Structure 1
């Protein structure tokens, strides 16, 4: 039996009129109510009936680009590159809408539901995925499968492949995936520091519930392990220490500090690393913005870069080469990857074989890293 608007209203514990207002978007509705209604629509898999169903199967001129933080240059570069391709040529233009999730798993699903209701022509999800919310990956995969079944082209850019949900047509993945080699890039970066002679290396990273955080940290620790080193306090698991605490309990490691992917977190985390290990000779940051904060903290402690402490980042954002000293980092071709994602989303480039392509991460050795003092 088909799900009705009244069923959605009962499930969301609101009136049918409120459901209509949320779906039409023509009337003001509180954010909490809107979220509750859209969740009910998603859980019941409600679709419009009658002539509206035919409209729902059509494609609009809308392209949705989901980012964690549009103020972060990492996401801004990718989103801008996607939009440069989805603008199209005369007669093929699309309206790109950037959806800022703030890293919220619930908000990500809400945006996907809204884009489904708007019959988006394409959806591009960028950056790492949330792992801390139970069942979120499966929920996203199921939502993307519904989008794909309705004719929406779905692309993941800089994000790991999703599980293939049972409802996916023919067992095919619902999204084309351009995934970054975060593990390999981080491993090569730490190997570079080890080759210079560093052995007391601190690591500043992002929230523990992000795939980007986990994969880059795994690459760092793989390099240490291959060199016969074990990070003090690091266990085999991902740990359960609180973000920002970097607690050695739960396997996070004494020389790893978790925080957010911003400058202030890099500053505070570096001071904490120096407190734990005064003889620190290198700091690896999980992105270039964190690395800037690390550099500022070291200078404020009277330490020189790289004569006293080397610093390295990740992503090779535009400011990295102009930092003083120029920042050693790992280059991800963010603009090229975003542009490719945009072309796939527009159907102007084929989906990679098997639906997944790995984007290589390359070491950029610059002036911010050097042998440790005494070498």
Structure 2
């Protein structure tokens, strides 16, 4: 493999001159000299070292994205939007899966800082863990102090640019729809209890219950992982624990799909016997039978907006920007009024 020195010898210039030309240095270089160096690069099929380029260039070209799990449809849709903006701006995206492990998330921030990325987008939920939150905030502030940019998606205890989905309002929309249909015995499949996303969505459901003169007790709530298997197991627990349940609200669509599988395996008709509503409006929600009622978040747009914030030119007063992503209700065939005897 050709080296920088090989290119310099072929072109008859110094290695410093070659470095300035291939890294687009602002220091002026004659056009004839530039063409000679680029011809040598082509002849030798020289491939610049990415780490060396980052050190040589005045700008940083890579951006880091920390998600809980990019295979999760929620994060896959957000990442699609993040990557679209980064690609349009000539940026390399480094995707890091934390698998909802706060310590791994902290380690990724250090790693992305060490690689001199231009920005970090934190796309996963915040944590109900004060020491972890404080450590993360310190690391992000240090990263910003050395020239990096930070944008977060969701509720985090970090001052700066943020896209905040209407999780609490979305939870209210889901429960309000069920109560308006006439349901009074509603089970909730919540996500992991240590995540702020779970807390916010659950708070919206509780608010809707109060609005309609009901109360969601701990007996009606089952916490689970944000995936299909978690939803199936939680649905089974709720059906056994709360006889007469007529509706289930799952706090993401993957869990709702798992709940649908559980209901089908028990011979429970949806929505004739039990109504089911999800959250996020994943593509799969229209492909299951019956199609899933859900709360829609504009996930790809959230990614677009978050990356745009991360790569924007910061105003002179260094002010941060917080934008909200609207939640909307999508009613499909998985919800209906409860059986006549339960109205």
> How do 1:299-310 and structure 2 match up within 5 A?
299-310=264-275
Aligned to 2:155: 160
1:124 aligns to what SS in structure 2? strand
Aligned to 1:255: 220
Residue 207 of structure 1 contacts residue 258 of structure 1 at CA under 8 Å; is this kept in 2? Answer: yes
> How do 1:189-208 and structure 2 match up within 5 A?
189-208=174-193
Aligned to 2:107: 110
What is the rounded CA distance, in whole Å, between the counterparts of 1:352 and 1:307 in structure 2?
Answer: 55
> How do 1:133-144 and structure 2 match up within 5 A?
133-144=129-140
Aligned to 2:81: 81
When Rg is computed on C-alpha atoms for both structures, the one with the higher figure is 2
1:203–1:352 Cα change, 3 Å: farther
Question: Structure 2 unaligned runs (5+)?
Answer: 1-51
Match of 1:342 among 263, 285, 307: 307
What is the rounded CA distance, in whole Å, between the counterparts of 1:333 and 1:348 in structure 2?
Answer: 24
User: If each structure's helix is expressed as a fraction of its own residues, which one has the higher value?
Assistant: 2
CA distances 1:68-98 after superposition (whole Å, capped 9, x unpaired): 0111010111112101111135xxx111010
What is the rounded CA distance, in whole Å, between the counterparts of 2:106 and 2:59 in structure 1?
Answer: 20
Aligned to 2:164: 179
Aligned to 1:364: 330
Question: Structure 1 unaligned runs (5+)?
Answer: 1-51, 164-172, 235-252
What is the rounded CA distance, in whole Å, between the counterparts of 1:57 and 1:109 in structure 2?
Answer: 27
TM-score, normalization: structure 1? 0.73
Residue 59 of structure 1 contacts residue 152 of structure 1 at CA under 8 Å; is this kept in 2? Answer: no
1:349–1:185 Cα change, 3 Å: farther
1:135 aligns to what SS in structure 2? helix
CA distances 1:85-141 after superposition (whole Å, capped 9, x unpaired): 11135xxx111010000101111110001111111101111031122x341112212
> How do 1:33-44 and structure 2 match up within 5 A?
none
Aligned residue pairs: how many?
A: 288
> How do 1:21-170 and structure 2 match up within 5 A?
59-89=59-89, 93-131=90-128, 133-157=129-153, 159-163=154-158
What is the rounded CA distance, in whole Å, between the counterparts of 1:306 and 1:352 in structure 2?
Answer: 52
1:56–1:362 Cα change, 3 Å: farther
1:319 aligns to what SS in structure 2? helix
